């Protein structure tokens, strides 16, 4: 089984490496895959200085009719009105809060009072909450991970908090690193943030692969003793209290109890360790890409000579993000438990089904990371800075 698991992990890693290698060697890379390395301007667009004039010349040559169909990407798809309004509402309010936040950060330059700081931090927290409402890659990973296995509430909170902390730290390191060490100053911050999108995708491959490996090798996706332990087993364990161990009994019975207890304890400890490692890996991978809102606040705070206020605001954004992602994760856990409860008639098959589903969830994360990385590196997708 272990050999099989290692083989499977090897196959997954090979897939990731193949996708990335393909991305680097493909001819399209030379023309358009500046994605990971090019400069990104303040409008979030990759700067392609050498090809700009070429594009202009091309359009000169082809525009005898005055039209350029290629310049306008066709987005004919419109979401259903209800869904569009709900999403647009969250986006509009997030945008307004972000604008207020940016203005409040800029205001630090003029009046750096306690009231200004508190307003900024309050706005930052509210922005973080709404920032995470709109679906994104962090919630895809969190939702898939939590929704595909039996997880505890504490694990959902840990994953959300860890992801948000990594995201905040990523922005802080990026901005302060640029401010203190980079020759070009701040001008490359967004480019570096875009590069971290690719890094995040590659790390998601590794985190998903690790989750698959630990799930298959250690069976730790589905060991929820509270729901899966059979009633006769619990009765027999309860009947053997500490005192009863000293009572006369057949040696076989006592050995069986000790063996069962030590086995379940070590499995529980092992499961906890590997779940913690999965959460650390998954949270780091999905949080390593910083939020542009945090970057802008930090830049404004540094410009106003109040860097610590910027750091506090960045962590306030992180707290808001963690709150929303936690609620989202709890929803995923609730859905999982609801479905588990519905499957009571096929309980005997549930454990296998849960493991299959947990592996499938991790596989989705691996494939998502690999596909995103390949598309970005081949230039078919621009790195997302959000």
Partner 1 sequence: MLNPRVIRLLLSIAILLVSGTVVAHPHVWIRFAARVQMQGTRVISIAEMWRFSEGFPVQLVGVDALPDNGPLDAKQTAIFREQAFSSLAGAQYFSHLFADGQALDFGDPTGFRVSVDHGKLVYTFVLPLKMPIDVKAHKVSLGIWDDSFFVDYEPDGANAVTIEGHAAATCTAKPFTDHAHPIFNGIVVPQAMAISC
Does the footprint of partner 1 cover residue 334 (CB under 8 A)? no
Which 251-280 positions form the footprint of partner 1 (CB under 8 A)?
A: none
- The HSE-up count of residue 206 (CA atoms within 13 Å, CB side) is 14
- DSSP for 234-249, please give it: HHHHHHS-TGGGTS--
Stated as kind and residue range, the H or E segment containing 47 is strand 46-47
Among 188, 173, 127, 123, residue whose Cα is nearest residue 289:
173
Minimum Å gap between C-beta 39 and partner 1 is 8
Q: Residue 39's beta-bridge partner residues?
A: 47
Does the footprint of partner 1 cover residue 68 (CB under 8 A)? yes
Minimum Å gap between C-beta 30 and partner 1 is 18
By C-beta, is 89 or 268 nearer to partner 1? 89
Among 3, 50, 61, 69, binds partner 1 (CB under 8 A): 69
Stated as kind and residue range, the H or E segment containing 216 is helix 189-218
Among 143, 117, 105, 167, residue whose Cα is nearest residue 292:
167
Which 284-323 positions form the footprint of partner 1 (CB under 8 A)?
A: 291-293, 295-296, 299-300, 302-303
- Distance of alpha carbon 187 from alpha carbon 40, whole angstroms: 9
Which 159-218 positions form the footprint of partner 1 (CB under 8 A)?
A: 184-187, 189-190
Does the footprint of partner 1 cover residue 13 (CB under 8 A)? no
Does the footprint of partner 1 cover residue 78 (CB under 8 A)? yes
By C-beta, is 184 or 244 nearer to partner 1? 184
Does the footprint of partner 1 cover residue 31 (CB under 8 A)? no
- Distance of alpha carbon 187 from alpha carbon 350, whole angstroms: 54
- The HSE-up count of residue 63 (CA atoms within 13 Å, CB side) is 12
Does the footprint of partner 1 cover residue 42 (CB under 8 A)? yes
Does the footprint of partner 1 cover residue 2 (CB under 8 A)? no
Cα→Cα distances 346→122, 149, 351, Å: 49, 17, 10
Minimum Å gap between C-beta 207 and partner 1 is 16
By C-beta, is 240 or 377 nearer to partner 1? 377
Which 98-157 positions form the footprint of partner 1 (CB under 8 A)?
A: 98-99, 101-107, 131-132, 134-137, 139-140, 143-144, 147-148
């Amino acid at each position: 089984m272990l050999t099989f698991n290692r083989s499977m992990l090897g196959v997954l890693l090979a897939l990731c490496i193949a996708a990335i290698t393909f991305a680097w060697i493909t001819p399209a890379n030379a023309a358009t895959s500046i994605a990971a390395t090019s400069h990104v301007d303040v409008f979030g667009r990759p700067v392609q200085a050498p090809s700009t004039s070429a594009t202009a010349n091309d359009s000169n040559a082809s525009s005898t009719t005055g039209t350029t169909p290629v310049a306008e990407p066709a987005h004919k798809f419109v979401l259903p009105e209800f869904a569009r309004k709900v999403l647009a509402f969250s986006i509009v309010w997030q945008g307004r809060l972000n604008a207020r936040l940016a203005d409040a950060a800029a205001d630090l330059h003029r009046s750096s009072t306690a009231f200004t700081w508190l307003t900024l931090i309050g706005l930052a927290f509210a922005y973080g909450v709404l920032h995470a409402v709109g679906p994104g890659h962090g919630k895809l990973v969190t939702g898939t991970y939590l929704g595909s296995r039996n997880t505890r509430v504490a694990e959902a909170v840990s994953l959300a908090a860890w992801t948000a902390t990594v995201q905040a730290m990523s922005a802080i390191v990026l901005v302060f690193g640029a401010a203190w060490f980079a020759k070009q100053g701040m001008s490359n911050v967004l480019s570096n943030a875009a590069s971290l999108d690719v890094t995040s995708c590659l790390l998601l491959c590794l985190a998903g692969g690790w989750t698959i490996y630990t799930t298959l090798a250690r069976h730790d996706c589905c060991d929820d003793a509270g729901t899966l332990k059979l009633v006769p087993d619990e009765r027999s364990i309860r009947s053997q209290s500490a005192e009863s161990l000293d009572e006369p009994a057949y040696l076989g019975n006592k050995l069986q109890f000790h063996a069962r207890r030590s086995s379940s304890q070590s499995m529980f400890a092992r499961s906890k360790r590997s779940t913690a490692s999965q959460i650390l890996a998954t949270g780091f991978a999905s949080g390593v890409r910083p939020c542009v809102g945090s970057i802008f606040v930090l830049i404004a705070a540094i410009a106003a000579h109040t860097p610590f206020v910027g750091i506090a605001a960045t962590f306030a954004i992180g707290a808001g993000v963690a709150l929303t992602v936690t609620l989202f994760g709890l929803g995923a856990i609730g859905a999982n438990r609801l479905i588990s409860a519905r499957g009571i008639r096929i309980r005997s098959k549930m454990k296998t089904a849960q493991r299959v589903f947990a592996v499938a969830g991790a596989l989705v994360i691996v494939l998502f990371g690999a596909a995103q990385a390949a598309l970005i590196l081949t230039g078919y997708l621009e790195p997302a800075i959000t």
